[in-house]
Amino acid sequence: MGRCSKPIMGILLLCCFCLASISEAEYLKYKDPKQPINVRVKDLLKRMTLEEKVGQMTQIERNVATPDVIKKYFIGSVLSTGGSVPAPNASAEAWIQLVNGLQKGALSTRVGIPMIYGIDAVHGHNNVYKATVFPHNVGLGVSRDPVLIKKIGAATALEVRATGIPYTFAPCIAVCRDPRWGRCYESYSEDPDIVRKMTEIITGLQGDIPANSTKGFPFIAGKTKIAACAKHYVGDGGSAKGINENNTEISWKGLLSIHMPGYLAAVDKGVASIMISLSSLNGKKMHANYDLITGFLKNKLRFEGFVLSDWLGIDKITSPMHANYSYSVQAGISAGIDMIMVPYNYTEFVDTLTYLVKNNIIPISRIDDAVTRILRVKFILGLFDNPLADHSLANQIGRKEHRELAREAVRKSLVLLKNGKSAGKPLLPLSKKASKILVAGSHAQNLGYQCGGWTIQWQGVGGNNLTVGTTILNAVKQTVDPSTQVVYKENPSTNFVKSHKFAYAIVAVGEHPYAESEGDSSNLTIADPGPSTINNVCGSIKCVVVLITGRPVVIQPYLRKIDALVAAWLPGTEGQGVADLLFGDYGFSGKLARTWFKRVDQLPMNVGDKHYDPLFPFGFGLTTEPTKY
């Protein structure tokens, strides 16, 4: 064999050098899971075009999202609003197919940034058929049990992950100060300390933040956890006259003491994102409030997750809505909002924001800050390393352990407001062995009413075909002795009640489902025919009234006729928890986390007010001991 000539050797050396250079050039730090997150974020950010950055700041609704749209506009996030599903009664696999299909569109872009899919899993994975629906927050606040709340967060995270979704717009940590507000059931309490304690749901959703974590730095513990979103920053629960998206008038001291504590706790727990309120604060739209979003939340509290707008929040900066969109985009982005829930007209948002940056109206530094925060959360979530959904979790939807947890939550959320017309003659616990009992009321055999708003549909839906669960009537039938005859009549006449020899009656009445502005109420009455049902039944025989409501309602006019009164709030799918207490398998322990007014003209009225004169005060709740059968 002859030796290589010098020219050939030179060519070989040159080739080796070129190959090494190509290999080095192809090393992308942002794709290396061994690199620190901030290094990966910085490396990716410097490779991105303006169009790719603007795309990351854009969140669109599932109805307008396709793989091609995501690829063309580099869309960073997709959401399902209430009732926005792949198909009626969609399975976990159908959800996974939807999410993965859209994700593949994102991964096919030039730099392959995964999109993040978000959903309103606000009391369990409430959009999904057969999912466990937990009590709404208004009930959970009664428990004052952060350990229970954390378990609910963990169960919810598993069921959300079961559908391939890694992000929820929860928890709502509003401090509802007026029950006329249609979102009051999304609030744990009128008391900021209870709301602060209930932020423990964040550690259930995301995982326990490590002891050595940097303050404000988001943390998500792995594939069974999801990114949380504390909302609605800040002051939404103080909206004047309980009108949704109205103005909150309050001093700085009042804001810090009432509406801010939950956010301090959420940031300390490493919450991944915070959603801005559609309400105003002292006349200024929160979506345009630079001082509170950038000045306080980002700079003072050192929050390093991303800030999300609410639905059409940018459009609503002006009145009328969308009157000056260019100004609205400039105001919202400049205030510090990082991701915009558009949700439909994404081309207008993309074009407008791109124009504002190219013309130096919004500095590129503001865009880079927003995208840095979004990418940071995506890396922490593990989306870059495991972008597609894990099919092995699909069996977590509505699992038995989660339903048992929800049943426990129901038991701990009920408040016994009255027990007997005289102190020495309690009605509860009820006898399981009565010969014949009456169950009445529009809410006794209606799973949809029991679950309330934000269940399968945005506004909720009545009836028993929406999902799987146990109604109060069925729970009663499963609890009493087999020899007991249970008669159900939704709205019986007085003659009907008197013509049967009922030992007692259970009357379940309350509000019909609603969400947001649709629930704003100036009268807070029980829905018809509830009042007549109470009068007809409770005026004839011993009765316990179970109120299914999202807040305190007018009950004083009927109170004298009622033997026992239970506030069951919106208990969700596990109605068996109501029967557990009525029949003494467990004792009542819940204490009001809201003041129960006498008359609507007293509102707003909260514990500590000078004019405090409630029907049932904050913290009130009778107790019972379990019955040994």
Starting at the edge strand that comes first in sequence, how are the strands of the sheet with 58-61 ordered?
Answer: 167-168, 116-119, 77-80, 58-61, 340-341
The stretch 358-379 carries a mean pLDDT of 98
Q: Is the pLDDT of residue 8 over 90?
A: no
The stretch 99-126 carries a mean pLDDT of 98
pLDDT range class, residue 390, cuts 50, 70, 90: confident
pLDDT range class, residue 123, cuts 50, 70, 90: very high
DSSP letter at 445? T
Starting at the edge strand that comes first in sequence, how are the strands of the sheet with 564-567 ordered?
Answer: 415-419, 564-567, 543-548, 505-510, 436-440, 485-489
CA distance 11 to 289: 63
Backbone angles phi, psi at 285, to 5 degrees: -60, 130
Helix locations, 527-613, DSSP H: 530-538, 576-582
Whole-number pLDDT of residue 22: 41
Percent of the chain residues topping a pLDDT of 70:
96
Whole-number pLDDT of residue 23: 46
AA letter at 197: K
Tens-place pLDDT, residues 286-329: 999 999 999 999 999 999 999 999 999 999 999 999 999 999 99
Residue 399: name the closest of 124, 121, 94, 118 by CA. Answer: 124
CA distance 171 to 204: 11
Whole-number pLDDT of residue 131: 98
Burial of 496 (0-12, 13-18, 19+ CB in 10 A): middle
Burial of 57 (0-12, 13-18, 19+ CB in 10 A): buried
C-alpha pair distances (Å), 347 with each of 54, 65, 73, 374: 11, 12, 8, 20
Whole-number pLDDT of residue 25: 56
Q: Which two tokens stand for residue 71?
A: 């690829």
C-alpha pair distances (Å), 576 with each of 77, 294, 330: 38, 46, 51
The interaxial angle of helices 146-162 and 400-413, nearest 10 deg, is 140
Whole-number pLDDT of residue 500: 96
Query: How much is the pTM?
Result: 0.96
Secondary element (H or E) of residue 156: helix 146-162
Whole-number pLDDT of residue 475: 99
Strand, helix or coil for residue 368 = helix
Q: Is the pLDDT of residue 176 over 60?
A: yes
| Residues constituting the chain | 629
Name 107's Cβ contacts closer than 8 Å, sequence gap at least 6. 114, 387
82 in Cβ contact with 311 (< 8 Å): no
Whole-number pLDDT of residue 13: 45
Torsion of CA 92, 93, 95, 101, to 10 degrees: 160
AA letter at 301: L
Tokens 């009357």 -> residue: 507
Whole-number pLDDT of residue 629: 62
The stretch 370-399 carries a mean pLDDT of 97
The stretch 51-72 carries a mean pLDDT of 98
Please state the three-class secondary structure of 271-337 as a single string. Answer: CCEEEECCCEECCEEHHHCHHHHHHHHHHHCCCCCEEECCCCCCHHHCCCCCCCHHHHHHHHHHHCC
Q: Is 516 a catalytic residue?
A: yes
Q: Is the pLDDT of residue 6 over 70?
A: no
CA distance 50 to 90: 37
pLDDT range class, residue 2, cuts 50, 70, 90: very low
Whole-number pLDDT of residue 422: 87
Whole-number pLDDT of residue 331: 98
CA distance 137 to 201: 11
Burial of 352 (0-12, 13-18, 19+ CB in 10 A): buried
Whole-number pLDDT of residue 135: 99
Q: Is the bond into 287 cis (omega within 30 degrees of 0)?
A: no
Backbone angles phi, psi at 109, to 5 degrees: -75, 175
Catalytic residue of the set 120, 186, 310, 520? 310
The stretch 249-267 carries a mean pLDDT of 98
Strand, helix or coil for residue 63 = helix
180 in Cβ contact with 149 (< 8 Å): no
CA distance 301 to 234: 14
Of residues 4 and 344, the one with the higher pLDDT is 344
Tens-place pLDDT, residues 417-452: 999 998 789 999 999 999 999 999 999 999 999 999
Q: How many CB atoms lie within 10 A of CB 281?
A: 22
Q: Report CA 357 to chain centroid distance, whole Å.
A: 34
Catalytic residue of the set 186, 200, 516, 580? 516
Q: Is 310 a catalytic residue?
A: yes
CA distance 358 to 529: 60
